[in-house]
Amino acid sequence: MSVYQFSVKDAYQKEISLSDYKGNVLLIVNTATKCGLTPQYAGLEKLYESYNSKGLEILDFPCNQFMNQAPGSDEELSGFCQLNYGTTFKTFAKIDINGDTAHPLYKFLKSKQSSEGDEDNKKGFISKLLNLKKSANTGEIKWNFTKFLIDRNGEVIERFAPTVKPEELASAIERIL
């Protein structure tokens, strides 16, 4: 199984097969436009500009499951990213990434990178946010801007916590390009 088996909708509701990205390195990110981590869009765009010509594609999946931080239509979200952060990578339609309504792509991604459990479910909200970097591979997505790195064969290579800044991914991307 690989990510190439899945189809998703773009911001204009057109069905896109991820097999269209065969042969590329993918960085799949769940995003939000009203989040404290939203400025990561700038770093994602820098990665895209640096590595797109070598085969990197960034796939942006807005998700409104975390405190409604991705409000608006799919077209509005895509426009926000382009206008405010100059993004040129693909923004897809809003999807769910956790729970019973999670998109099959995200069920797959999480199944490939969920090696340890959340050892302390009693932590408060702020404590959990501060601990996001440590708990990157714990099954359910913890917050906006969780990143999955996919190799040219469509295999999930690594999962990065929301607090991992895009610029910190450069060496991991270079290794598989």
Domains identified in the chain and CATH numbers? 3-176 (3.40.30.10)
CA dist 23 and 112 (Å) reads 19
* Residue 136 scores a pLDDT above 60: no
Confidence of residue 82 (pLDDT cuts 50, 70, 90): confident
Q: Is the pTM of this model over 0.75?
A: yes
CA dist 31 and 66 (Å) reads 10
**Residue type (1 letter), 120:** D
Token representation of residue 27: 């960085």
Coil, strand, or helix at residue 28?
strand
CB-based contact 7:18 (threshold 8 Å): yes
* Residue 4 scores a pLDDT above 60: yes
In this structure, are strands 7-9 and 15-17 parallel, antiparallel, or unpaired?
antiparallel
pLDDT tens digits for 7-65?
Answer: 999 999 999 999 999 999 999 999 988 888 889 999 999 999 999 999 999 999 999 98
pLDDT at position 120:
34
Mean pLDDT of 139-160: 93
In 10 A of CB 114, how many CB atoms? 13
Q: Which residues contact 97 (CB under 8 A, 6 or more apart)?
A: 30, 61, 63, 65, 103, 106, 141, 146
Q: Look at 74 and 131; give whichever has higher pLDDT.
A: 74
Query: Kind and range of the H or E element at 62?
Result: strand 56-62
pLDDT at position 121:
34
Coil, strand, or helix at residue 148?
strand
Mean pLDDT, the chain, whole residue set:
85
Active site residues: 35
Mean pLDDT of 82-88: 89
Mean pLDDT of 170-174: 95
